[in-house]
Amino acid sequence: MTEPDVVTVRGLRKVYRGRVVVDDLDLDVPGGEIVGLVGANGAGKTTTVECIQGLRRPDAGTLRVLGHDPVSQAEQLRPLVGSQLQDSALPDRLRVAEALDLFATERAHRGGELLDQFGLAGRRKSAFASLSGGERQRLFLVLALLNSPRLVILDELTQGLDPAARRNVWAAVRQLRAAGTTVLLVTHEMDEAEALCGRINVMRAGRIVDRGTPAELVDRHARQATVSFTMADPPAGLLVELSRLDGAGEVQREGARVTVHGDRSMIAYVGAALVRWGRVPTDLSVRVPDLEDAMLSLLAPEPAAGAPAVDGSGGPGLPDGIEFAGGLQ
């Protein structure tokens, strides 16, 4: 049985000082899933989730969150939604334990357990100002989960966390989903979106430009894989065979370096061909496209006449806010 949608947005529009930030946006968040919202800086992601929470009043459109209008029924909705926002802050002198008491409702029952889970048990008496950036981020996540919400909205969830802490937070988010909590995740970390989200909505200039599972987005926008190896004197017959394999496209040779481009199915055929020829290189490497490749392709602008095309390799023409090495910003 399919869970009903926890969030339904139709025709959302928000304008700031004459600039359209969210433009006729439709969004569905099914119950019990982790749904991602990704895009470059300025795409309208944070404004969208602020409207969903009732923190900003939309200029047009309809929104329903757990059956409530987030603007006119904010009081009924507030106990059902937990959020960790990108620009969250607390008073400098407020202690961690006091923050839990301040935000707790009758639904809260595991504050100490959450502090322990996120490595903050030893900081219960510490003032907010004394916490590191990563500790503050974890505290906001604890506060988002404190009241056992039915919907959790997370904006840049693991910003400032070290790799080990990121993995612990990811595990906690997966536990939320397993317990039936719905999660709307705003992130620029493509490995995070790929690891956590069952489906992803890609925003650009205030609109959803594509949506689907991570695998579907990769399949639509970043199909090309590469297999490369060094072979000082490759037989001509091998190179011909590689070019004719199922799924193979171009075969490039630069000195002793051979690179085969094609779809992902090509990888197995290249390996089999090398085995048949008895020429399996020790430096054989495979590059499989991932979600970041798909985003670079999907969000790249249309090249101007005469301009070099964007190929997803970090070359000229990438949209503002995208850094190839660090992911979407």
DSSP 8-state secondary structure symbol assigned to residue 3: P
Extract the runs of DSSP E, i.e. beta strands, from the chain. 5-16, 19-30, 34-38, 60-65, 81-84, 151-155, 182-186, 199-204, 207-212, 225-230, 248-254, 257-262, 285-287, 322-323, 327-328
What pLDDT does 305 receive? 47
The reply to whether 328 falls in a domain is no
Q: Read off the pLDDT of residues 114-141 as tens digits, 9 standing for 90 and up.
A: 898 888 999 999 999 999 877 888 888 8
Give how far Cα 227 sits from Cα of 111, 168, 303, 314, Å: 50, 34, 28, 19
Q: What's the half-sphere exposure (Cβ side, CA atoms, 13 Å) at 195?
A: 16
pLDDT at 317 over 60: no
302: confidence class by pLDDT, cuts 50, 70, 90:
low
What pLDDT does 87 receive? 66
Instruction: In whole angstroms, give the CA distance from residue 83 to residue 77.
Output: 12
- Domain extent, residue 99, equals 5-219
The reply to whether 49 falls in a domain is yes
Q: Read off the pLDDT of residues 189-222 as tens digits, 9 standing for 90 and up.
A: 899 999 999 999 999 999 999 999 999 999 999 9
Percent of the chain's residues with pLDDT above 90: 57
What pLDDT does 206 receive? 93
Please indicate, yes or no, whether residues 125 and 259 belong to a single structural domain of this protein: no
pLDDT at 38 over 90: yes
What pLDDT does 315 receive? 33
pLDDT at 176 over 90: no
Average pLDDT of the segment spanning 309-318: 34
What pLDDT does 256 receive? 93
Please indicate, yes or no, whether residues 149 and 239 belong to a single structural domain of this protein: no
pLDDT at 310 over 60: no
Please indicate, yes or no, whether residues 139 and 95 belong to a single structural domain of this protein: yes
pLDDT at 309 over 70: no
Please indicate, yes or no, whether residues 181 and 241 belong to a single structural domain of this protein: no
- Give the domain CATH number at 180: 3.40.50.300
Please indicate, yes or no, whether residues 252 and 105 belong to a single structural domain of this protein: no
284: confidence class by pLDDT, cuts 50, 70, 90:
very high
Average pLDDT of the segment spanning 30-42: 92
Contacts of 61 (CB under 8 A, 6+ apart): 9, 10, 11, 12, 13, 24, 25
What pLDDT does 84 receive? 81
Which of 287, 302, 322 is a domain's end point? 287
Contact 38, 188 (CB under 8 A): yes
What pLDDT does 3 receive? 61
The reply to whether 319 falls in a domain is no
Number of domains in the chain: 2
The residue that leads in pLDDT, 302 or 61, is 61
Please indicate, yes or no, whether residues 239 and 120 belong to a single structural domain of this protein: no
Q: Read off the pLDDT of residues 215-274 as tens digits, 9 standing for 90 and up.
A: 999 999 998 899 999 999 899 999 999 999 999 999 999 999 999 999 988 999 999 999
Please indicate, yes or no, whether residues 193 and 62 belong to a single structural domain of this protein: yes
pLDDT at 148 over 90: no
Please indicate, yes or no, whether residues 176 and 228 belong to a single structural domain of this protein: no
What pLDDT does 119 receive? 84
What pLDDT does 65 receive? 96
Please indicate, yes or no, whether residues 211 and 231 belong to a single structural domain of this protein: no
Extract the runs of DSSP E, i.e. beta strands, from 199-241. 199-204, 207-212, 225-230
Please indicate, yes or no, whether residues 160 and 119 belong to a single structural domain of this protein: yes
What pLDDT does 300 receive? 79
The reply to whether 298 falls in a domain is no
Distance of CA 294 to the CA centre of its chain: 12
Write the DSSP assignment of 254-272 as a string of letters. Answer: ETTEEEEEE-TTHHHHHHH
Average pLDDT of the segment spanning 170-192: 89
The residue that leads in pLDDT, 109 or 72, is 72
